[in-house]
A = this chain, B = another copy of it.
Amino acid sequence: MDFGFSEEQDLLRAQVRKFLEDQCPLEQVRQIAAGDEGYCPRLWGQLAELGWLGLTLPEEFGGLGLSWVDLVVILEETGRSLFPSPLLSTLLAATVIDQHGTAEQRQRWLPALIDGSSIATVALLDEQDYLVPQAIQLQGAAGDGGYRLSGEKRFVQDATAADLFLVAFRTGPGDDDLGLALVPRQAQGVSVADTEGWDRTKRSGVLTLDAVQVDADQLLGAAMLGAPAIASIIDYGALAVSAEAIGVCEGILNLTSQYALDREQFGSPIGRYQGVKHPLAEIYVDIECMKSLVYYAAWALEAQPDDAPAAIAKAKAYAAERTCNAGVAGVQLHGAIGYTDEYDMQLFMKRSKWSRATYGDEDFHYDRVAGYGGI
């Protein structure tokens, strides 16, 4: 029993924090967010060099072979600094390829994703915005020894940055009829459009497939993987967003506590008022709880896989609800200045709303918790 980070993990955190503070302070975040690409290729290259893109991936492909607990350390820091990049998408896609891909597929894609030369993302949802494998509608018609895919994928994270999409599709109505296709950006019939959102540090888009031919070797794992594999992607995504959300809340707490100390009214800092103090104390409590829930879920993912879905559902439910609350409280405690574009609080608040919605909000995950808890 040891519910703490190792010295190596503490070092990793310090390294990541320093890198992001030096290389991507909030002015830089704003610049990247204002650009078309949504990320900085130069910094992306540095991430690859530092080994972070392959943190959890096997050493044989250039990865570091570390655990999801290590990854959480990085994600807390990218959340804290609102670092805009397709890190989360690429890590998810790479994880899925590593887990389910054939030897050839892993060899073909993992080195490129780890060395930063390729960016990948997962395309799950289409018409129905309901985050379960059963809601996936896109049909793959058998043909030419593979499948032909037509339709639209919505809410594809980092769609415009990616050159590889893991596209979920089905060949029939059953849970076993679900598969993932490896579709390169440049394949015939693929087009991508950015979806404008309030949080420009997180990009999302629509992927349109117009009779895209998927050959047999592009079917991930050379088989229809079925609903459980798809569900696990949602779990990975929910956990990753929750880990970033810890950092987002810490950013909100730091910014707002500092404001409460600096800003004076009637000759003393507004931080002395309980109306300011108490909401800040609650954000602190929420961060502590989010850390506990996320760290445990990340550990369980590898060490107690049976317990992982429930643990992740709890982590994301809590993170969704309370990060959103922290964003609202943070703006309100700042008063008018929190409502301005030039002050940084708004960046965190917008991210808090993104964190709530992405990979399932609290209602979605509390419904899952209820199910797992025998309720």
- Asked if A274 CB lies within 8 Å of chain B CBs, one says yes
Which residues in B have their C-beta under 8 angstroms from that of A3?
Answer: none
Per the 8 Å Cβ criterion, residues 259-308 of A in contact with B are 273-275, 278
- Count of interface residues, chain A, beta-carbon cutoff 8 Å: 4
Q: Whole-angstrom distance between the alpha carbons of A273 and B274 in the complex?
A: 7
Please give, as numbers and ranges, the residues of chain B lying within 8 Å of A274 by CB-CB distance. 273-275, 278
Closest to A278 in B: B275
Q: Which residues of B contact A275 (CB under 8 A)?
A: 274-275, 278
Q: Report the minimal beta-carbon distance from A29 to chain B, rounded to whole angstroms.
A: 34
**Chain A 109-134, CB within 8 Å of chain B: the 1/0 string?**
00000000000000000000000000
Instruction: Determine how close the nearest CB of chain B comes to the CB of A167; give it in whole angstroms.
Output: 38
Per-position binary interface string of chain A over residues 136-157, scored 1 when its CB falls under 8 Å from any chain B CB and 0 otherwise: 0000000000000000000000
> Which residues on the B side are within 8 Å of A273 (C-beta)?
274
Taking the nearest CB of chain B, how far is it from the CB of A358, in angstroms? 28
A70 to chain B, nearest CB (A): 41
Closest 6 CB pairs of A and B: A274-B275, A274-B274, A273-B274, A275-B278, A275-B275, A274-B278
Q: List 6 A-B contacts (CB under 8 A).
A: A273-B274, A274-B274, A274-B275, A274-B278, A275-B275, A275-B278
